Chains A and B, each alone.
Chain A
C-alpha cells in the first residue's frame, strides 16, 4: 500500500499543474464569455515549443525551452483571438466550431510533423529529493513551486494593477466596464495572451513530467471543463480550488485503481452539475 505522505505530495503537485491548465481556460470564459476548445491545443503547442527549443530544432537549453513555451503559445493565442474569434465572439456556436477546428488543426500539424511517438522534454531540474521518507522527482517539486509563483503573480496582477482591474471589471460586466472607458476588445486580447502563456507553461510542465505527443491536450481540456464547473464558471479562485479537488480525487482514486483516474473528474462534474450547478464560487459571475 502506498504511504499517505506520498499520496499527499503527489496530490498537491498534480493539483498545482491542473490549476495552471484550468485558470487560462476560465479567464477566457469569464472575461470574454468564449468557450475556447483550442485550449488543449495551446498546451500541446507549449510542450512542442519547449521540445523544439531544447534540441528538437535548436539547442537553447532549459531557459530557452521555458521562454519558447511561454512566448509561442501566447502569440498563437493572440493570433487566434485577433484573426478568428474577435469578430464572431458573440456567436457561441461559431466560436465553439472555430476553436474546435483550430484544436484539430494543431493536432494534425504535430501528427504530420512528429508522428505518434511521444517526445521527451528535458526536466527543469534533474534528480530526486527525499521528503518524509519518500523520494520525489526534483522536477515535480520545481513545477509545484513555479505553478504557485505564477498563480500568485496572476492574482496580484488582477487585484492590484490597472490592467488586472480592467480584466476583473470586464469579467463582471462588459457593459459596466465599457461605461467607465474600458475597451473590452483590448482586455479580451490580454486575457487570450495570458491564457496562452499559462497553457504553454502547463504544456512544458506536463511534457517534462510525462512526455509530449500530438494528442496530449485532449485530457487537460476535459479536465479544464470539470475543474471550471466545480469551481464555478468564470471564477479564477474557483478554478484553483477545483484543480485541487480534481487533483486530489485523481491521486486517491489512482491508489485504488489507476483505471478509474480518467473517470473521476467526469463523475465529479456530473455530481456538481446536479447538486450545485453554479459551482463552488459561481456567484462571482455577474452576467
Chain B
C-alpha cells in the first residue's frame, strides 16, 4: 500500500464510512499531526519519507534489503532507569543480533527517542520515527497514557509495535474489537494490568497465610494502568481468605502519605497491598522512616531497580514487589546471561523493561526472519505463531479472538512474574518456590 497524501485522504473517507468511530476521529486528526511533524522536518523531506515507505506497511510483501530499523520509545532514556533499560535492552539485542549475522545478513539498528512520559511528546516522537527514520517497527513505551495516545497512529501507519512497559489492557481490547486496524500492536510484556492484579492474588493465595497477612489495606495509585489491577483485586482478592479492611485509589502525584498511613493504621491492617509506579518512592521512604505498624508489598515498580536500596538509603528493606526478573534469578536459561551482558555493557543491571525489550527486539527479528518478509502483515502472522523463549519467560501471544488479543500469555508455562523482597540490600526472591532464594521476613519494628 502506497502511503502518499492522496491515498491517506481516500482512506480517511473510506474508514470513516466503515463505522468505526474511534478510527474515523483519528484519521481526521492525522492531518494537523503530520503538518506539525512536517514543520520540523520540511515538507519536501516529509513527502520523500512518506513515499519511501511504499510497500513497507501492512500491504504488499517486502523483503528486507538493508538494515532492520527499530524505533524505541523510552521515558528519559538517559537518566530514568526504566527508560534506560528499554533503550539499552534494545541496543544490546540489536548488537548481539548484528554480531551473530544479523537478520538474513542485514544489520539490526535501533533508534531511541524520549517520550518524557508525556502522551503528546510520545505521539510526536512516533511520527518522527515514521517520517524521518523510516523504521520497520517500534517498541518500548512505559506509560499507558502514552501508548493509548499513539495506538491509532500505529494502526494508521500499519507498523508492528511491541509494547514493553505499558500494561493497560485497553490496547489489547482494541485489537480484539477491530483486529484489521489494530492487529499491529503486541504487548511483549509485562503481562497486562488485569493479569498483574491476578498475579498478586495468585501470590497471595500461596503466601499470605505464611506471611501472617490476614487483614489487608489495598493502596493503588490513580493512573490508567492501575484500573484493571484494582478490578482484578476487587474480583478475586476475596478468594484468598484475607479480609480487605481498606481500599484506596489515592490521587496521582501524591507525595505526603502521612494521612493515608494514619488511616491504614486505624483500619488495623496487617499489611498494605500496593500498585505503585510513579508515586512509589515517597511511599516506601515514608513507610520505613515512620516505621509504620503494617507490612508493605505488592506491585512497586521503583523497588524493582537493582540499585534501589542504595538510592533510598535502605528505606526499601522488607518491602516486597512483583518483578519480571532479578539479575540473579534464573527465570529462564537466558535471564542471568542477559543481565550479566547488560551489566558488562552499560555498567548497571537492567530493570524489568530491559529484559522485556531485549526479548521484544529478538522476537521481532526472529519473526521477520521466519516470515521471509519485513512487511507488517507477514510479521504479524509470524508473531502470532511465535513461541519465543526469552529472558522473562516464554513469549506467546493471545489470538485475535481473545479478550486480550496480542497480549503476552500469563501462565506458569509462559510468563509468570516473581516476587522479591529487599533483605540486607539484596533482591531476594520469595515466590515462586522454584526461584526462591529466601523466606519472607517481617520488618523488625512490627
Contact = CB atoms under 8 A, between A and B. Distances in A.
A159 interface: no
A255 B262 CA distance: 9
- Mostly, the A contact residues are mixed
Interface stretch (B161-169, B286-294, B418-426): B286-294
A159 B196 CA distance: 60
Contact of B311 (A3, A111, A119, A127): A119
A171 interface: no
Contact of B302 (A117, A126, A127, A137): A117
Contact of B258 (A10, A111, A120): A10
Contact of B259 (A10, A55, A111, A117): A10
Interface stretch (A24-32, A36-44, A175-183, A257-265): A257-265
Given A2-B263, A139-B289, A251-B259, 4 more contacts: A55-B313, A117-B80, A119-B311, A258-B248
24 contacts: A2-B262, A2-B263, A10-B262, A114-B79, A115-B76, A116-B117, A117-B81, A117-B302, A117-B311, A119-B311, A120-B281, A120-B285, A120-B315, A135-B290, A210-B255, A210-B285, A211-B255, A254-B259, A258-B248, A258-B259, A258-B260, A259-B222, A259-B251, A262-B251
B312 interface: yes
Given A117-B80, A258-B250, A210 B263 contact: no
Interface in B217-240: 222
In this complex, the member of A117, A209, A261 whose beta carbon has the largest number of chain B beta carbons within 10 angstroms is: A117
B311 A216 contact: no
B212 interface: no
A137 B288 CA distance: 10
B256 interface: yes
Interface in B121-155: none
Contacts of A123: 289
Contact of A137 (B78, B255, B281, B290): B290
A286 interface: no
A219 B282 CA distance: 15
A55 B313 CA distance: 10
A117 B258 CA distance: 20
Query: Which 8 residue pairs are nearest across A and B when measured between Cβ atoms?
Result: A115-B79, A254-B259, A118-B281, A2-B262, A259-B251, A120-B312, A137-B290, A115-B80
Given A1-B266, A255-B259, A261-B259, A112 B281 contact: no
B248 to A, nearest CB: 8
Output the residue of A137, A139, A210, A254 with the most chain B CB within 10 A: A210
Interface string B303-316: 00000000111010
B417 interface: no
Interface in A86-131: 111-120, 122-123, 126-128
A113 B76 CA distance: 11
Contact of B291 (A128, A209, A211, A259): A128
Interface string A1-17: 11100100010001000
A254 B312 CA distance: 26
Given A139-B289, A216-B255, A120 B262 contact: no
Interface residues of A, number: 37
Interface string A144-178: 00000000000000000000000000000000000
B289 A116 contact: no
B265 to A, nearest CB: 8
A210 B258 CA distance: 9
Interface string B163-196: 0000000000000000000000000000000000
Given A2-B262, A211-B285, A258 B254 contact: yes
A14 B256 CA distance: 10
A120 B289 CA distance: 11
Interface string A128-143: 1000000101010000
Nearest to B256: A210
A128 B288 CA distance: 11
Interface of A: 1-3, 6, 10, 14, 55, 111-120, 122-123, 126-128, 135, 137, 139, 209-211, 216, 219, 251, 254-255, 258-259, 261-262
A259 B250 CA distance: 6
A120 B78 CA distance: 20
Contacts of A259: 222, 250-251
A2 B285 contact: no
A211 B282 contact: yes
Q: Which of A2, A219, A251 has the most CB of B within 10 A?
A: A2
B319 interface: no
B75 interface: yes
B315 A2 contact: no
A120 B307 CA distance: 13
B5 to A, nearest CB: 37
A117 B281 contact: yes
Contacts of B289: 123, 126, 137, 139
A139 B285 CA distance: 13
A158 B3 CA distance: 71
A209 B289 CA distance: 9
A112 B311 contact: no
Contact of A211 (B75, B263, B281): B281
Contacts of B281: 117-118, 120, 211
A95 to B, nearest CB: 29
A22 B104 CA distance: 65
A210 B262 contact: no
A10 B261 CA distance: 12
Contacts of B259: 2, 10, 251, 254-255, 258, 261
Contacts of B285: 118, 120, 210-211
A258 B81 contact: no
